[in-house]
Structure 1
Amino acid sequence: MSVKFSYQAAVALVAGLAAVLAPDLWSDGAGREPLIVLGALLALTGLFGLLGRAGPSEWTVTAFAVLLFVAPWAWQFTGDDGAAWTAWIAGAVTVIVGLYATYAAPARAAAS
């Protein structure tokens, strides 16, 4: 089993793990369900990407990250700073890296 490093997969894995751990570590249980579910989905897509398995595309990872970013408003836990900021930061960073990876990869392939 070879591990193929990609920044998008690594960021998705770390952001997903942060979101999964956030309700118990620094947010007093607020936003537990959306953070755990969306964080687990992000972490799994990142793990699949690092292991080089055929799985979710870059767009799927980016979509999960957008859902994580929107989660504080959708599940109304914007009042809890720990959970909301975790979702916003993890979601935004993963979306930015995901979009960069999606658009930069074809440009690099075409240039070489």
Structure 2
Amino acid sequence: MKVEWSRWQDWAAVVIGAVVALSPIWVDTNSAARWSMIVLGVLVAVTGLANLASPGTEMVVWAMGVLGVLMFISPWVTSFSHLTGAAWTSWVGGVLTAVVAMAALPDSSPMHIGHRGGLAAH
């Protein structure tokens, strides 16, 4: 039995994604920083919502982790590491997203679904 809309990791991803996506409102950005933060933030929030709606989807958790890594490296890849506020938002958001994805991975494993972290009987 799947417990939907209750995992803290997925709610954390939604919040992290929303904060990163909205952060160009209060941090200095250029065009590359703004779009990188908006797109990656929205995608992280969407993966969190997808995991909330269907917590057994292990591939979505992996996608969240990849998005966290992309968010972390985006200041260097899109050349906005000199914009301190935008860069730090991406670095911290990326690390937090990757950590949340790693924390969600055991709960998304088919062996753990519906067992609150215990192994399923075979």
Q: TM-score under structure 2 normalisation?
A: 0.77
Structure 2: tracts of 5 or more residues without a match:
none
The one of 35, 47, 50 aligned to 1:45: 47
| Residues 10-42 of structure 1 deviation map (CA, whole Å, 9 limit, x = unaligned) | 1211111111111122x2233101101111101
Match of 1:9 in 2: 10
Distance 1:32 1:105 in 2: 32
Pairwise CA distance, 1:3 = 4.9
- 2:79 pairs with 1:70: no
Conserved in 2, the CA contact under 8 Å of 1:20 and 1:39? yes
- Tell me which amino acid in the other structure corresponds to 1:28: D
| Alpha-carbon distance in 2 for matches of 1:98, 1:54 | 13
User: What percent identity do the matched residue pairs reach?
Assistant: 33
Query: Could you tell me whether the CA contact under 8 Å between 1:23 and 1:32 is conserved in 2?
Result: yes
How does the TM-score come out when normalised to structure 1?
0.83
1:58 to 32, 56, 61: 61
4+ residue runs of structure 1 moved beyond 4 angstroms?
A: 53-56, 104-107
Where structure 1 has 5 or more consecutive residues not aligned to the other structure, the ranges are none
Aligned to 1:18: 19
Deviations 1:19-77 (A, max 9, x none): 1111122x223310110111110111112222337865210111111111111111111
